[in-house]
Every structure is written in C-alpha cells, then in structure tokens.
Amino acid sequence: MKTRRPSLLPGWTALLPLCGALLAACAQTPAAPDPQAAQALSAFPAGLPGHHRHVIELPALPDEGSRQLELIGVKPMTVDCNSRGMDGRFEARDVQGWGYTYWVLDSQGQVRSTLMACPPGSQRPGFAEAEPLRVRYNSRLPVVVFVPEGMALRWRVWQAGAVQDAPVR
C-alpha cells in the first residue's frame, strides 16, 4: 500500500509574500539626480544631425573627486569568439556662453576583428566598442553625449582605491 506524501506547495506559497517583502527591503534605490542638473540640460544642444542625444544624470555621491565616469560608444552586433573593436573617439565640445562640456562620438562605425575560426554555435548578441573615455564625475551637471545613429552609449563609474605608499628598494 502506497502512502501519500503531503504536498509542499501550500507551505511554499505562504512564504512567497514574505520573500517578496524581504527582497524589496534589500533593494537599493539610487539617489535622485541633482535638480540643478535637470535645469542645466536646457543649455545643451537638443540634437545634432545624424546623432542621438544621450543624457546621464548622476546621483550625488560622497567624495566625487575619487570617481570617474567612463563613456563607451558601442555598435550592437552579433559577436563570436573573435575580439572586436570599433573606430572612433569622443570629442569634447563646449556649450557657447555657458562653459559646459558635452561629448560627440566621432565614428564611422567601422569594426575591426580577429579572424579566429570559432566553434559552431558561438554567435551571440554583443557589441563592438570604440575607445572609451573617462571624464570627471560631476552630479551637479548632466552628462550629454551625442552618438551616431546605429550606435549606442554604455557607461560605468570608476572609483579610486585607497592611496598606498610604495616601498623603497
């Protein structure tokens, strides 16, 4: 005679709201951008022919002097095991009469690649990246970047580590 085990499903469904509440409590909400940055956005050009405007509004952080923002121009494409790169560089331009700086990715979208024989099935969605640019982290102004159509902008924040003394040898 087979004994029937009780189902664990009712017990698990009772835990779902608790798990959801715990996950919500652990989630970090990013700090709001500086309102001054939103007001300054009107001073920047609304667009450039053949480009998309990207605006990054950074949250205020302690010790912004030890941080940098890295801008990465990318071209979405199918990639495989080969290494890829893209032509282009970021050019700094000034907003006349304001002293603000914005960046324009100057690229023709030409991709270079190694020519290794990749195994079948190694193709996946990815990016070819242009030479990245690091700029000063500044939450008081928006970071405005113009990227040619067909390309995209990615970014990340870098933080300096603790200063260390070098040994004398």
Tens digits of per-residue pLDDT, 42-53? 999 999 999 999
Tokens 């940098």 belong to which residue? 68
What's the pLDDT score for residue 30?
47
Q: How many angstroms separate the CA atoms of 25 and 145, rounded?
A: 34
Tokens 């500086």 belong to which residue? 34
Q: Which of 68, 153, 80 is nearest to 123 (CA)?
A: 80
Tens digits of per-residue pLDDT, 55-92? 999 999 999 999 999 999 999 999 999 999 999 999 99
What are the start-end ranges of the E strands in the chain?
51-56, 67-79, 84-86, 89-95, 100-106, 111-113, 124-129, 133-136, 143-148, 152-159
Tens digits of per-residue pLDDT, 90-110? 999 999 999 999 999 999 999
Tokens 């500044």 belong to which residue? 138
Q: What percent of the chain has pLDDT over 70?
A: 78
In the predicted model, is pLDDT for residue 35 greater than 70?
A: no
pTM flag (> 0.85): no
Q: What separation, in Å, do the N-terminal and C-terminal C-alpha atoms of the chain show? A: 81
